[in-house]
């Protein structure tokens, strides 16, 4: 845990920079409340324990990246500057699917080479189209959409 993070519930943190950003502080607080409400359900759907993944709301330096999964830290990070709260939650669900993939051993990385279901898939692709076609990315996008539907049906997320 970083000393500049604000600890919430369920292994969920918000960076100081996000929490105190005057331009977005209202949205960050709404996002934090929403994450606290939906995170236990997302974890339950995916069969994740709290220690399987920390969740952090904060900026991501990479351009055109709304979320990241850092397997060595077991950290799912969502950029609070993403357009809407619902899209942030979908990004969170997507990143937690990656946490599930790593926890189950279906996705691993050895010496920079990704392995999917024990099959070497190569290093991170250089084109966006190839990245989108990776089987673990296809699965994460599909499951995230399913999770959003479940959360809306349960009344945990606005339509």
DSSP assignment of 7-62:
E-SSSEEEEHHHHT-TTTHHHHHHHHHHHHHHHHHHHHHHT--GGG-EEEE----S
- C-alpha to C-alpha distance for 61 and 70, rounded to whole angstroms: 14
What confidence tens digit (pLDDT) does each residue in 83-140 have? 899 999 999 999 999 999 999 999 999 888 999 999 998 888 888 899 899 999 999 9
pTM of structure: 0.92
Q: Residue ranges per domain, the chain?
A: 5-153
Give the integer Cα–Cα distance in Å for 79 and 55: 11
């Amino acid at each position: 845990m970083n000393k500049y993070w604000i600890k919430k519930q369920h292994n969920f943190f918000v960076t100081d920079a996000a929490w105190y950003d005057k331009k977005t502080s209202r949205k960050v607080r709404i996002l934090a409340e929403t994450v606290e409400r939906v995170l236990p359900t997302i974890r339950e759907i995916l069969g994740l324990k709290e220690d399987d993944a920390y969740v952090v709301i904060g900026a991501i330096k990479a351009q055109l990246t709304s979320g990241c999964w850092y397997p060595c830290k077991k950290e799912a990070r969502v950029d609070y500057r993403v357009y809407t709260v619902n899209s942030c939650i979908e990004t969170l669900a997507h990143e937690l699917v990656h946490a599930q993939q790593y926890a189950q051993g279906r996705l691993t990385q050895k010496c920079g080479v990704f392995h999917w279901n024990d099959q070497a898939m190569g290093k991170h692709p250089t084109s966006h189209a190839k990245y989108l076609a990776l089987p673990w990315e296809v699965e994460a996008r599909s499951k995230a959409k399913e999770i959003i539907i479940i959360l809306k049906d349960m009344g945990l997320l606005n339509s």
